[in-house]
Homo-oligomer: A and B are copies of this chain.
Amino acid sequence: MDSFSFYNPTRILFGAGAIRHLGQEMNNAGVKKCLLVAGGGSIKTNGIYEQVIQSLKTSQIEWTEAWGVQVNPTLDKVREMIAQAQKEKVDAVLAVGGGSVIDSSKAVAAGFYLDDVWQAFLGKAVVKEALPLFAVLTISATGSEMNGNSVITNTTERRKWSLRSPLLYPKVSVIDPSVQSSLPFQQTVNGALDAMAHILEYYFMDDKALATLAMNSALLRTIMDMTDRLRQDPADFVARGNLAWSATLALNGISGIGLKGGDWACHAIEHAFSALYPKIAHGEGLGVVFPAWIEYVSEKQPERFVPWAKNVWGADSVSHALRRFRDMIASWGSATNLRDLGIRESDLATLRDIILDTRGVGKIVKFSADEIDALLMLAF
């Protein structure tokens, strides 16, 4: 097993009703006034907003609200919120939402102390300080609630890039799976596919990280089983809770131990989709890209995929496992090719150029322009 360092200081409060402890946790951390970051307003209809406000009031924490973070969150919105945070002199950021809201909040937490936060995403500025971040998760998917990563889209530059810093781990994240019971099934699926993709980005990197791979197989099977259960019964609280926790573990560091930092070709490719078609859900896009990537790479390196076929799918061949993977995605009503996602063939060349603009595409196969063209055609 490869050398690694592991550090994850985020405190998780998990369970029905856990939001009520939020204010006390912020109090313990000395917070006086926070920027409450949120999305389009669904938290006002499902009762989450009210629970959060009640907890802040009980602990006498002031807040100012920033609404309107969208899927594939933008740099423009982040900049607007940084200005608000500075003007309102907050001393913390409170994200109430899914991955987009938490990622935007991380960018605000870092950008509060930077001249231009985008320079940090470009690797030209270093995050040396950040506002403390708290999160209330409303959809399990990105794992952002327990890591130090942020992914933001610069619409002008058509770049969806990421920033990592140990200063951006949330201090406390609240995960109440019961608030996810009202999610449409397609959003649950998008979250499940995103979580599975995080594990899969690591899975094929090194067959010697046996402890991690055994756990990753267990997590993949759990995510699939729980999603199937939720298709039958969206109110299945056991399935909702186990899916939520699996999604957090999928990208909190544990799933990547000994796996060389992961491959991340599929994420680089899907991020290009989002940059050009902002309405494509990240998880659904990954559900198209990953099977295509496995098909493409396993033709060159079939042995690499045998343990996955066996331990995740109980399959005796990679092609059999791949067929079951695609059937499962189709059974969930999710896209299985680029056309389903609404991507036009005439845009494939532009997509390839956006993909090539990222800092390297993949490790197992380092994709050239021609290889990206071939992969995109396979996915189309």
Contacts and interface: CB of A to CB of B under 8 A. Distances in A.
Contact of A3 (B1, B7, B18, B218): B18
A219 B217 CA distance: 11
A246 B211 contact: yes
6 contacts: A1-B242, A7-B12, A211-B249, A214-B221, A215-B215, A249-B254
Contact of A210 (B222, B249, B258): B222
Interface string A203-217: 000001111101101
Contacts of A1: 14-15, 177, 238, 241-242, 245
Contacts of A8: 8
A49 B159 CA distance: 50
A328 interface: no
A238 B210 contact: yes
Given A5-B14, A7-B11, A219-B211, A245 B258 contact: yes
A157 interface: no
A357 interface: no
Given A4-B14, A4-B15, A15-B3, A211 B245 contact: yes
Interface string A195-233: 000000000000011111011011101100110000000
Contacts of A374: none
Given A4-B14, A5-B13, A215-B249, 8 more contacts: A1-B177, A3-B16, A4-B15, A5-B14, A6-B14, A14-B257, A215-B218, A245-B258
Nearest to A18: B3
A3 B225 CA distance: 21
Nearest to A174: B5
A7 B28 CA distance: 15
Nearest to A10: B7
A9 interface: yes
A2 B7 CA distance: 25
A217 B211 CA distance: 11
Interface in A116-175: none
A215 to B, nearest CB: 5
Contact of A6 (B5, B12, B222, B258): B12
Residue of A6, A18, A221 ringed by the most chain B CB atoms within 10 A? A6
A114 B344 CA distance: 70
Contacts of A16: 3
Nearest to A7: B11
Nearest to A216: B218
Contacts of A214: 218-219, 221-222
Contacts of A4: 12, 14-15
Given A214-B222, A218-B215, A11 B18 contact: no
Contacts of A177: 1
Given A214-B218, A221-B214, A238-B208, A14 B3 contact: yes
B254 A209 contact: no
Rank and list the top 4 A-B pairs by shortest CB-CB distance, nearest first: A3-B15, A1-B241, A214-B218, A7-B11
B6 A211 contact: no
Interface string A1-37: 1111111111111111110000000000000000000
A68 B12 CA distance: 39
Interface string A237-253: 01001100110010000
Nearest to A210: B242
A80 B267 CA distance: 56
Given A215-B218, A245-B1, A254 B254 contact: yes
Contact of A11 (B6, B10, B215): B6
